[in-house]
Structure 1
């Protein structure tokens, strides 16, 4: 059975690029344009991993990570932050919020696939 990745990104271009990378490596993808849309989809889909941006409207990536970690049925889903925020403080804040990995944009698609494979294979 194919694993399902929830890609949460407000930029349509980056969302399509990350989704294509995941699809081409055999994963199914569900896309959301912000944290609010992601939280609306979580109860209705079997999500195996979340890739999220941080800077998004409505509910940002940090709040998404914190909410997922506080929700018992979703708290163990691996989360990868993919953000242009690159300071050590921002990376630490993302990891403290509960992300498993933090990747900085611009990113190498092979690195994203590698990070995903650490949690799903």
Structure 2
């Protein structure tokens, strides 16, 4: 079952971070990567995009044979397309959630296909959200609020919260 969150964030909300929140996004479609880039750069985030899940794992230091170095890596949110060649978004989600050093990073899965079993599988696998394409400004605003709450637990973020009730 999908998590639901109430949000008191406004689209014009600015972050109080010392540095911009970092969004890491994977999508095999260049246009979809550009949309994500635009939505989050316009909302004061640093955005890194890549074309597949393998590249995300390499970036995080989770590819086969790599050792993660979380001390130098600041990723606040990962967005992944579900349907990508080589590795699905669900497979990427599982690899991230199996990592002791990366499992706390929220992962959002996006897809152009509204398939309930796929959505449930991703949510049960640890996805923070499952969003349908095309992503909109309201989606970016909602995700930006989640990043802010995660980094400021006093505002009622995810840390230690059990959403599976």
Shorter-chain TM-score range = over 0.9
Deviation at 1:34, TM superposition (A): 0.5
1:3-47 Cα offsets, whole Å, 9 max, x none, are: 100011110001011111100110001111110000000136321
Q: 1:76 aligns with which of 88, 100, 104?
A: 104
TM-score by length of 1: 0.92
Q: After alignment, is 62-71 or 40-49 more displaced?
A: 40-49
- Counterpart in 2 of 1:6? 24
Q: Larger strand proportion, structure 1 or 2?
A: 1
- Tell me if structure 2 keeps the 8 A contact 1:18–1:109: no
1:93 aligns with 2:111: no
- Tell me if structure 2 keeps the 8 A contact 1:48–1:120: no
Deviation at 1:90, TM superposition (A): 1.3
SS in structure 2 opposite 1:50? strand
Q: 2:140 aligns with which of 112, 115, 119?
A: 112
1:27-73 Cα offsets, whole Å, 9 max, x none, are: 00111111000000013632111011010012210000000000000
Larger Rg: 2
1:38 aligns with 2:66: no
Unaligned runs of 5+ in 2: 1-18, 62-68, 150-165
- The alignment covers a number of residue pairs equal to 121
> Hey, what's the Cα distance between the residues in 1 that align with 2:43 and 2:134?
20
> Hey, what's the Cα distance between the residues in 1 that align with 2:104 and 2:24?
14
TM-score by length of 2: 0.69
Q: 1:18 aligns with which of 33, 36, 61?
A: 36
How big is the alpha-carbon RMSD for the aligned residues of Structure 1 and Structure 2? 1.4
